[in-house]
Amino acid sequence: MEERESLKKIVSHSKEYGFVIPSSEIYEGLNAVYDYAHNGVLLKNNIRDYWWKSMVQINQNIIGVDSAIFMHPKTWIASGHVEAFNDPLIDNKDSKKRYRADVLLENYIEKQKNKIDKEVLKAKKRYGDKFDENEFINTNQRVQELNTRIKSTNKRMVDGFKKNNLKEIENLINELEIKCPVSGTSNWTEVRQFNLMFKTNLGASSDSNMELFLRPETAQGIFLNYLTLQKTSRMKIPFGIAQTGKAFRNEIVARQFIFRMREFEQMEMQFFIKPGTQEQWYKEWKDKRMKWHLSLGFEEKKYRFHDHEKLSHYADAASDIEFNFPFGFKELEGIHSRTDFDLKSHEKLSGKKIQYFDTDKNESYTPYVIETSIGLDRMFLSVLSNAYFNETLEDGSSRVVLKIPKQIAPIKLAVLPLLKKDGLLEIAKELINEFSSEVNLSYDEKDAIGRRYRRQDAIGTPYCVTIDHQTLEDNTFTLRDRDSMEQKRINNKDLKNIIEKELTLNSLLNNLK
């Protein structure tokens, strides 16, 4: 309940302060489609920029591409999406609500894991310092029962999906007596496969008409172009290609705000390697991506790896970086060892040779691929949920503050003239003129200064600069810190320094090197 409350607060805060708004709202909105308002666009651009620079700018062997959303329909036959990009759906006959069968089972397993955690916590309290957690887990009867239940459920689920045995998945849901959270009953339909790709048509006349799919991932635009990009950029293996852009999926269950949308943005990087080296590169990219997340300075315990047992049709290993969203740990990013599946399939279907030629060894081969794939909107939600605080202050009042990492905050500085007279406005405008080409600034002259600070806290502005009468005398102004709320006097030169050192992406990027 508390978790749902906190997501609700983030959703309404996002709307009230111009981050994320429902799409087509005057027509009652469109399910799972959202628009980004001014502060949202700025934050999203900054996150994308940080990702892009951490891939393409600081790595000399990663290049970029921006491929079209429309692609030849054969792309999706070769990639396996026409055949296998399905989600298993199941309906509850009483509530008429639709669910993903795999998600129902994964939630069930998660619940059993939570029960184990509770048992451990209880025993810890009971035994105090003498408590040996490993021994307890290995010997306690209840924990062993729960572990056996988790293992057998997982095995039956993985086998069922591997063999596309949907009857077995249905039986499992029924045997475990999994209930619909809305109706509370286990009155389920059978499990069916549902393809997630959106269809559209290219061309106006019926005979030249071609049925297309809106791309469900940006990766295929990289695969189709990889050889041309490699040659034109004179890359040698190992090298990567990065792309950010829209992807579309007709999700069965699209709830939880911008976590699961039908139109969303991905940031993907495909790293092309020599076959046989995939284990080493897979590990390296897992480490690098976790480091990227932790570089933003949020609590380490909010992130964890989840190694997959149920692998997609193209992968020989896969892991998710999960984030503790207000509704629990869920996938934020996927790291996949995609083998040579995609390149080989495109080669076969197109009849074109797309092998890499190794000039040192004088031989051709099809590279293997490690992929890192993150949803920009999910990343945005993770930043917002990490940053949102409702604080009670010493004087008993409260404030909502977004402690967004300073380098990616939508507005970096707010310039606030204390009064509208005595030339303070002119100084404020001059200051904006001086710094607006370096960072996003905002200007606010309305209301008492305390209220103006609160407004900036609510959108996560790291610093406010207040112009007052002392500015007229000695050219200094007050710098107020969002997190500590401390204030100090500084001059133009100090401000320039703060911008360079704290408010640009440089410090974040330097830490990744």
Angle between helices 2-16 and 376-387 (to 10 degrees): 100
Provide, rounded to whole angstroms, the least separation between the CB of residue 457 and ligand ATP.
28
Assess 266 for contact with ligand ATP (CB under 6 A).
Answer: yes
Provide, rounded to whole angstroms, the least separation between the CB of residue 264 and ligand ATP.
4
Binding mask 190-219 for ligand ATP (x = CB under 6 A): ------------------------------
Provide, rounded to whole angstroms, the least separation between the CB of residue 442 and ligand ATP.
29
Q: Which stretch binds ligand ATP (CB under 6 A): 113-121, 149-157, 374-382, 435-443?
A: 374-382
User: In the bound complex, which residue of the shown chain has the CB atom lying closest to ligand ATP?
Assistant: 375
Report the residue number, 112 or 266, with the smaller CB distance to ligand ATP.
Answer: 266
Report the residue number, 83 or 500, with the smaller CB distance to ligand ATP.
Answer: 83
Assess 331 for contact with ligand ATP (CB under 6 A).
Answer: yes
Assess 249 for contact with ligand ATP (CB under 6 A).
Answer: yes
Report the residue number, 79 or 471, with the smaller CB distance to ligand ATP.
Answer: 79
* Number of residues forming the site for ligand ATP (CB under 6 A): 15
Q: CA-to-CA distance for 362 and 127, rounded, in angstroms?
A: 66
Q: CA-to-CA distance for 438 and 499, rounded, in angstroms?
A: 8
| Amino acid at residue number 512 | L
Report the residue number, 41 or 439, with the smaller CB distance to ligand ATP.
Answer: 41
- Interacting residue with ligand ATP among 251, 422, 445, 502 (CB under 6 A): 251
Give the position of tokens 């429902």: 22
Provide, rounded to whole angstroms, the least separation between the CB of residue 38 and ligand ATP.
21
Is the Cβ–Cβ distance between 331 and 320 less than 8 Å?
Answer: yes
Q: CA-to-CA distance for 378 and 67, rounded, in angstroms?
A: 22
Beta-bridge mates of residue 269: 242, 372
How far the first Cα of the chain sits from its last, in Å, is: 42
Q: CA-to-CA distance for 406 and 503, rounded, in angstroms?
A: 6
Give 460-490 as a DSSP string. Answer: T-SEEEEE-HHHHHHS-EEEEETTT--EEEE
Assess 150 for contact with ligand ATP (CB under 6 A).
Answer: no
**Residues near 240 by Cβ (< 8 Å), separated by ≥ 6?**
55, 59, 61, 62, 63, 269, 270, 271, 272
Report the residue number, 303 or 435, with the smaller CB distance to ligand ATP.
Answer: 303
Report the residue number, 334 or 462, with the smaller CB distance to ligand ATP.
Answer: 334
Provide, rounded to whole angstroms, the least separation between the CB of residue 126 and ligand ATP.
38
Report the residue number, 261 or 465, with the smaller CB distance to ligand ATP.
Answer: 261
Provide, rounded to whole angstroms, the least separation between the CB of residue 381 and ligand ATP.
9
- Interacting residue with ligand ATP among 178, 227, 317, 332 (CB under 6 A): 332
Q: CA-to-CA distance for 218 and 462, rounded, in angstroms?
A: 34
Provide, rounded to whole angstroms, the least separation between the CB of residue 488 and ligand ATP.
40
Assess 260 for contact with ligand ATP (CB under 6 A).
Answer: yes
Assess 334 for contact with ligand ATP (CB under 6 A).
Answer: yes
Question: Does the CA dihedral 296-42-502-476 come out positive or negative?
Answer: negative
The tokens describing 441, both together, are 């600034």
Beta-bridge mates of residue 363: 358
The tokens describing 364, both together, are 């051709």
Report the residue number, 32 or 65, with the smaller CB distance to ligand ATP.
Answer: 32
Report the residue number, 260 or 293, with the smaller CB distance to ligand ATP.
Answer: 260
Q: Which stretch binds ligand ATP (CB under 6 A): 34-42, 162-170, 367-375, 414-422?
A: 367-375
Report the residue number, 103 or 505, with the smaller CB distance to ligand ATP.
Answer: 103
DSSP 302: G
Provide, rounded to whole angstroms, the least separation between the CB of residue 336 and ligand ATP.
7
Question: Does the CA dihedral 188-193-198-200 come out positive or negative?
Answer: negative
- Interacting residue with ligand ATP among 43, 67, 172, 333 (CB under 6 A): 333
Provide, rounded to whole angstroms, the least separation between the CB of residue 136 and ligand ATP.
33
Assess 378 for contact with ligand ATP (CB under 6 A).
Answer: yes
Report the residue number, 34 or 368, with the smaller CB distance to ligand ATP.
Answer: 34
Total residue length of the chain = 513
Is the Cβ–Cβ distance between 334 and 318 less than 8 Å?
Answer: yes
The tokens describing 5, both together, are 């409350």
Assess 377 for contact with ligand ATP (CB under 6 A).
Answer: yes
Q: Which stretch binds ligand ATP (CB under 6 A): 66-74, 176-184, 328-336, 467-475?
A: 328-336
Assess 264 for contact with ligand ATP (CB under 6 A).
Answer: yes
| Amino acid at residue number 287 | D
Provide, rounded to whole angstroms, the least separation between the CB of residue 7 and ligand ATP.
15
Q: CA-to-CA distance for 292 and 270, rounded, in angstroms?
A: 17
Report the residue number, 70 or 198, with the smaller CB distance to ligand ATP.
Answer: 198
Q: Reduced to 3 states, what is the DSSP secondary structure of residue 196?
A: coil
Q: Reduced to 3 states, what is the DSSP secondary structure of residue 176?
A: coil
Quick count: other Cβ atoms within 10 Å of Cβ 267?
A: 22
**Residues near 290 by Cβ (< 8 Å), separated by ≥ 6?**
303, 305, 321
Give the CA count within 13 Å in the CB-facing half-sphere of 203: 8
Assess 261 for contact with ligand ATP (CB under 6 A).
Answer: yes
Assess 373 for contact with ligand ATP (CB under 6 A).
Answer: yes
CA nearest to 321, candidates 261, 382, 254, 256: 382
Give the rounded distance of the alpha carbon of 311 from its chain centre: 20
Q: Which stretch binds ligand ATP (CB under 6 A): 108-116, 238-246, 259-267, 492-500?
A: 259-267
Give the position of tokens 């993903």: 100
The residues that touch ligand ATP, with contacts defined as CB under 6 A, are: 249, 251, 260-261, 264, 266, 331-334, 373-375, 377-378
